[in-house]
Amino acid sequence: MESNIRSFWRYFKRNRLAVGGMAIILLTFIIAGSASFIAPQDPGKTDVSLKLKPPSLEHYLGTDQLGRDVFSRMLHGAKVSLSVGFVAVAISILIGILVGAVAGYYRGWVDSVLMRFVDIMLCFPSFFLILTVVALLGPSLFKVMVVIGITSWMGTSRFVRAEFLSLRERDFVQAAKALGVKDLRIIFLHVLPNALAPVFVTATLDVASAILVEAGLSFLGFGVQPPAPSWGNILTEGRTYIFDAWWLTVFPGLAILITVLSFNLLGEGLRDALDPRLRGRR
């Protein structure tokens, strides 16, 4: 186990972009976790006498149309955006693993039924499906997390199914069956741990997608609702003043861009380091 970890790290650290992406993600986590302590002002505090002030030493990223400190709102918005990304992906990964494991292990009609359901789900444009469900149920942070999670598990299920189809024929699985080990124990204790490598990569990339979806929903008014700050609704509040207060759109836009890019770079690095066939390319 230790040698596998060392081998993974040796190949992973060769990808400087992936290491840089990981560093930015860790920094973002630290900032989001300590937002309540490092934010210079209350993100909901309004003062119309300070509205639309440009970046300065007093307000690092300027103020918005209600005189709220954009820097403080960005810090608290990081917590919301990351929470949406990780909770939504946790839900999608759980569903994807269950569906893919059952389909790949049992095969036959079970596999056919589950994979046809996956195909049906893939026929719907994900963002518009999410937008429709949120519009019907009403926008809230919890609903956004759940809806994104239950509409984005299909890719994970396919990866897990493919791994299970390969692993179920291995000697250690056949030996476990011969010893009378129950199917659930074989699936979750013997096969699943060996099928998680592509799941880690998919999860990293899906976090980036979930953050983008949340930003898009908030931009359209169906995501996190004001006065709670998120990068998406800070961005949408600034579009009205795009020519008068450029900082209201530039800074949240850059935050989304850098965070999503960092997750994508980390996912690419994990894929290269976990797949022996790709290690020789670096």
- Mean confidence (pLDDT) of the chain: 85
- The predicted model gives 80-92 an average pLDDT of 89
Position 232: which residue type?
G
Torsion angle in degrees (nearest 10) through CA of 206, 211, 216, 222: 110
Question: For the segment 186-244, what is each residue's pLDDT rounded down to a tens digit?
Answer: 888 888 888 887 888 888 888 888 888 888 888 777 777 777 888 888 888 888 888 88
**What local confidence, expressed as pLDDT, does residue 98 receive?**
93
Q: How many CB atoms lie within 10 A of CB 131?
A: 18
The residue ranges of every structural domain in the chain are: 2-89+126-151+195-281
CA distance linking residue 48 with residue 68, whole number of Å: 8
Average pLDDT over residues 53-78: 90
Residue 130 pLDDT:
79
Report the candidate in 95, 29, 37, 17 with the shortest Cα–Cα distance to residue 271.
Answer: 17
CB 151 within 8 A of CB 132: no
What mean pLDDT comes out for the span 170-187? 84
pLDDT bin (cut points 50, 70, 90) of residue 97 is very high
Q: Is the pLDDT of residue 95 over 90?
A: yes
- State the pLDDT confidence band at 165, using cuts at 50, 70 and 90: confident
Residue 259 binned pLDDT confidence (cut-offs 50, 70, 90): very high
Q: What is the DSSP string of 267-282?
A: HHHHHHHH-GGGGGG-
277 band by pLDDT with thresholds 50, 70 and 90 = low
Q: How far apart are CA 203 and CA 93, in angstroms?
A: 7
Tokens at 90, concatenated: 């946790």
Residue 261 Cα distances to 12, 113, 193, 278, angstroms: 17, 36, 28, 21
CA angle at residue 199 from 197 to 204, to 5 degrees? Answer: 105
Residue 44: alpha-carbon gap to chain centroid: 26
Rg (C-alpha) for the chain, rounded Å, is 22
- pLDDT > 70 fraction of the chain, expressed in percent and rounded: 96
| Other CB atoms within 10 Å distance of the CB of residue 196 | 16
pLDDT above 90: residue 42 = no
Is residue 69 over pLDDT 80?
yes
Residue type, 225: Q
